[in-house]
């Protein structure tokens, strides 16, 4: 990592999932988002507050800790707010393995190219194979595809995943629920009804815990 590349403020990671793109992927969610979309599935990751600080080299090693992982997915939060660090994660990961990179963003691609919101955006765009852009609009959520709502666009910035047979826009959605101690992590763009059921289950467990104990959950 260069001296100018900052540590990342990480909301969560997941090593080895099939819910956020083709193949077996590792996912990095960053903390902090300027958009505050109504109906966001991860409202706890919107505030720009300290979470887990991690260096790109350590994150690259963590994301590749499963030797079967062949892709990375960046989400959040808003990845373009921490673009320089994510670009470095992708660069270091590709020194070890030829992984594909998918990135979600609330910004439109045109804005990212004409007026980048952070200095590392060009480097991150250069590393990304598939960019899913645009803010989430709950009224346009058709329950299909890797994008959350139909206004969001799928950009193949390289040909790496263009012919892999994965339908980013119309495929049936899948999601995974990962339990680690007292934390539950919902991974993926949830099918209709799953998010409400997930929240209800978490609230039910929280209600049964002893006073003063909280069962945190992440999405």
CA 120 – CA 195 distance, rounded (Å): 33
Mean pLDDT of the chain: 88
Rounded to a whole number, what is the distance in angstroms from the first to the last CA of the chain? 29
Strand order in the sheet with 175-180: 175-180, 183-188, 217-218
Distance CA 191, CA 158 (A): 28
Q: Is residue 163 over pLDDT 90?
A: yes
98-123 mean pLDDT: 97
For residue 197, pLDDT beyond 80? no
CATH number of 8-173: 3.20.20.70
Look at residue 90 and tell me whether its pLDDT is greater than 80: yes
pLDDT digits (tens, 9 = 90+) for 29-56: 999 999 999 988 889 999 999 999 999 9
- Smallest CA-to-CA distance from 99 within 82, 74, 135, 132 is with 74
pLDDT at 28 over 70: yes
Q: Which of 200, 197, 146 is nearest to 169 (CA)?
A: 146
**Peptide bond before residue 77 is cis, with ω within 30 degrees of 0:** yes
Residue 47 three-state SS: coil
- For residue 6, the model assigns a pLDDT of 82
Give residue 212's pLDDT band: very low, low, confident or very high (50, 70, 90): very low
Q: What is the mean pLDDT of residues 83-100?
A: 98
Q: How far apart are CA 136 and CA 147, in angstroms?
A: 9
pLDDT at 207 (0 to 100): 58
Once rounded to an integer, what is the mean pLDDT over residues 60-71? Answer: 98
Which residue has 């763009």 as its token pair? 189
SS3 content of the chain, % helix, strand, coil (to 5): 25, 25, 50
- Backbone CA torsion sign across 161, 162, 166, 170: positive
CB 155 within 8 A of CB 104: no
- Whether residue 211 contacts residue 194, with contact meaning beta carbons closer than 8 Å, is answered with no
Boundaries of every domain in the chain: 8-173
């Amino acid at each position: 990592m260069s001296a100018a590349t900052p540590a990342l403020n990480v909301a969560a990671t997941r090593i080895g999932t099939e819910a956020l793109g083709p193949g077996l992927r590792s996912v990095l969610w960053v903390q902090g988002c300027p958009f505050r979309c109504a109906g966001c599935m991860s409202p706890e990751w919107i505030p720009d507050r300290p979470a887990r600080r991690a260096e790109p080299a350590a994150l690259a090693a963590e994301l590749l800790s499963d030797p079967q992982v062949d892709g990375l997915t960046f989400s959040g939060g808003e990845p373009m707010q921490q673009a320089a660090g994510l670009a470095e994660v992708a660069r270091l990961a590709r020194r070890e393995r030829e992984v594909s990179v998918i990135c979600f963003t609330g910004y439109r691609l045109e804005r990212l190219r004409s007026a980048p919101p952070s200095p590392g955006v060009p480097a991150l765009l250069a590393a990304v194979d598939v960019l899913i852009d645009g803010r989430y609009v709950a009224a346009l959520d058709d329950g299909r595809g890797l994008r959350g709502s139909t206004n969001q666009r799928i950009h193949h910035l390289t040909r790496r995943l263009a012919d892999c047979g994965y339908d980013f826009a119309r495929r049936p959605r899948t999601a995974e629920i990962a339990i680690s101690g007292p934390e539950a992590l919902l991974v993926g763009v949830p099918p209709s009804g799953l998010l409400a059921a997930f929240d209800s289950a978490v609230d039910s467990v929280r209600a049964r815990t002893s006073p003063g104990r909280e069962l945190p959950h992440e999405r």
